[in-house]
Amino acid sequence: MAEPIIRLDRVSRTYEMGRVAVHALRDVSLEVGPGEFVAIVGPSGSGKSTMMNILGCLDRPTAGRYVLDGTPVADLDDDALARLRSRSIGFVFQSYNLLPRTSALDNVATPLLYQHVSRRDRVARATAALERLGLADRIHHEPTELSGGQQQRVAIARALVTDPAILLADEPTGNLDTHAGREVLELLLELNRAGRTVVLITHDPDVASAASRQIHLLDGQIADVAGVAA
Amino acid sequence: MSPLELLRLAFGRLRTSRLRAALTMLGVIIGVASVVALVGVGQGTTANITSRLAGLGTNLLTINPRNGSAGLTLEDVDAIRKIDGVAAVAPELQTSGTVAVGTKSTSTSLIGTNSAYAFVRAYDVWQGAFLTDPTADNNLRVAVLGSTVADNLGLDATAVGSQVTIDGLPFQVIGITQPKGGSGFQDPDDQVMVPVGVVRKYFVAGDTLRTVGVSVSSVDEMATVKAAITATLRERHGLAATADDDFAILDQSQLLETANSIAGTLALLLGGIASISLIVGGIGIMNIMLVSVRERTREIGIRKAVGARSRDILAQFLIEALTLSVLGGLIGIVLGLAVSAGIARLAGWSFVLSPTVVAVALLFSLAVGVIFGVWPARQAARLDPISALRWE
């Protein structure tokens, strides 16, 4: 296996809730290689969200090592963490999380704004990303003018526009009907076939079955691994 | 992020919430406009007073009788004239009268005086001549018209030598004065000057003068001449050493200096009161920005997730507050200048556009934006991306 993009080494995340320590993740070790499609599956309360926050560099582990794309996360301050997110991670959320009253184009271009890309290049790259996802005729639409499936595709375009090392999708089909959900899943598979590393977080085993490897989380620990390693 | 990008974001935001932006700016607009307008009016007043100072006459002292006194007489005038350092003395016996020629008439001030009046009060003759010693001493019925009176009667240069009537009595016009003009609420050109003896003979009973104007040779002698006049008049009026003066000597330049400083203080005071509304405007901005941070929590979370650093968020919200305050400041400056120009026009003084006022007002609104924008912006920047993303 090539140098993994994600390497979790005995990672724990503990929250202090008053006097009680809640162990959201316990000693989780995981490697994801380039070009893999990994699903992290588990019921609610299993630690999926914490996993997502840590993988996405929105949160830091309280114990253990996390190396993303060759960068150990523990040593980074907030600004460096923001830069790492900007460079290495594309987020796709359940509720799309598009900026309201902002055109699809500006939404997709926003991550580039924080990479100090010139306006002209931002527009060009965002337009290209939207066209790749079949949204050429929706470029100037605002989120409220788009269907759920279209909004999620805009969100995927935004995640891809920085050409990140991994695409981190948190219940991307959760708010969509079956048809639109299937389309989004197909899209993720297609992106993965084109070489993109995808980490999918879901509670739905059907959705998870699209991935080449499924990691089952239960009570903050990896319970089971299914599928084949890439 | 470059300042240009931040401005673009801020203006994009303002465009999507125009009404809110306008209402938020209103406080700053009103604050800046009132500061600019009041300071403008203060400066206009000061400039007006200064220009009047020049038009009043050189080294002028005016003597007025105190209430209840015997008053001043022409003999007092003769005595003052003999004092060293006195360049000229003009008695002023003032009343009102109606001047008429043909079918036109105008009501104006009638000033009985002598040949020195033009010099003492700094009038220039436009046409003809001023009162001379012979005409004054002989109580000839001659009149010198102020330019406003001449205008009101429709008289031009050819009127010199013609006749007008004052309260029905015929007078010969011997001169028209140059307009002094433009010095505010009291028009110095709306008066007719005739020999003092004529006024006493036909218009005013008694021989007491309301005013005596004295021109001092040089500004250095003002104080000594003032003292000498006081001594002379006290002696002439037979006042005991312990008695108060029965007259008052006004040093006009002193009076105007006082008036000037009062105007300055007043402008400062009003400006101070107006700047309170600027502070209120700033609080309005802070209020809206805090609400905005709360409403846009999710947006902040999204921006952080896609790579915004805390300082990017801080800058974004700070620039938004600054845009509101500076835009409001600019509108306020334009409005304030318009108001002070309008007042200057109404009051008849010239409008002074002071770059200092504009610069200070702009700096002030910038400061308001920074002071009242920093806190909400810090609140936004400090938000934790995870909980911000979950915010509903």
Query: CB-CB: which of A53, A102, A162 is closest to B386?
Result: A53
Complex ipTM: 0.93
pLDDT at A230: 43
* Residue B229, CB-side half-sphere exposure with 13 Å CA sphere: 30
Express each pLDDT in B73-87 by its tens digit. 888 888 999 999 898
Question: Is the predicted pLDDT of residue B275 greater than 90, yes or no?
Answer: no
pLDDT given for residue B335 in this prediction: 95
Percentage of the residues of chain B whose pLDDT score is greater than 90: 39
Local structure of residue A228 (DSSP, 8 states): -
Mean pLDDT over B61-69 rounds to 82
Q: What is the pLDDT of residue B210?
A: 81
* Residue A78 with chain B: CB contacts under 8 Å: 309-310
Q: In this model, does residue B47 exceed pLDDT 80?
A: no
A164 → chain B, closest CA residue? B306
Domain boundaries, chain A: 34-58+77-227
pLDDT at B184: 53
What is d(CA B285, CA A87) in angstroms, rounded to the nearest whole number? 35
CA–CA min distance A78, chain B (Å): 7
CA distance, residue B40 to nearest chain A CA (Å):
42
Tell me the per-residue pLDDT of A15-50, one tens digit each, with 9 for 90 and over.
988 888 889 999 999 999 999 999 999 998 899 989
DSSP letter for A195, please: T
Give the model's pLDDT for residue B179.
87
Q: CB-CB: which of A53, A101, A158 is closest to B306?
A: A158
Question: What's the alpha-carbon Rg for chain B, to the nearest Å?
Answer: 33
Span B328-349, average pLDDT: 91
- B-chain residues within 8 Å CB-CB of A50? none
Which of B16, B305, B308 is opposite residue A58, by nearest beta carbon?
B305
Is pLDDT above 80 for B55? no
Share of chain A above pLDDT 90, in %: 86
The DSSP letter of residue A143 is G
The yes or no reply on domain A34-58+77-227 and CATH 3.40.50.300 is: yes
pLDDT band, residue B54 (cuts 50/70/90):
low
Task: Give the pairing type, strands B191-195 and B104-113.
Answer: parallel
**What pLDDT was estimated at residue B182?**
54
What residues does each domain of chain B span?
3-52+264-390, 70-245
Please tell me the pTM assigned to this model: 0.73
SS3 A147: coil
Taking a C-beta distance cutoff of 8 angstroms, is the pair B157, B176 a contact?
yes
Give the least confident one: A60-69, A154-163, A199-208, B120-129.
Answer: B120-129
Summary mean pLDDT of chain B = 87
A120 in contact with B at a CB cutoff of 8 Å? Answer: no
Find tokens 């009162």 and name the residue: B131
Q: Do B307 and A99 touch (CB under 8 A)?
A: no
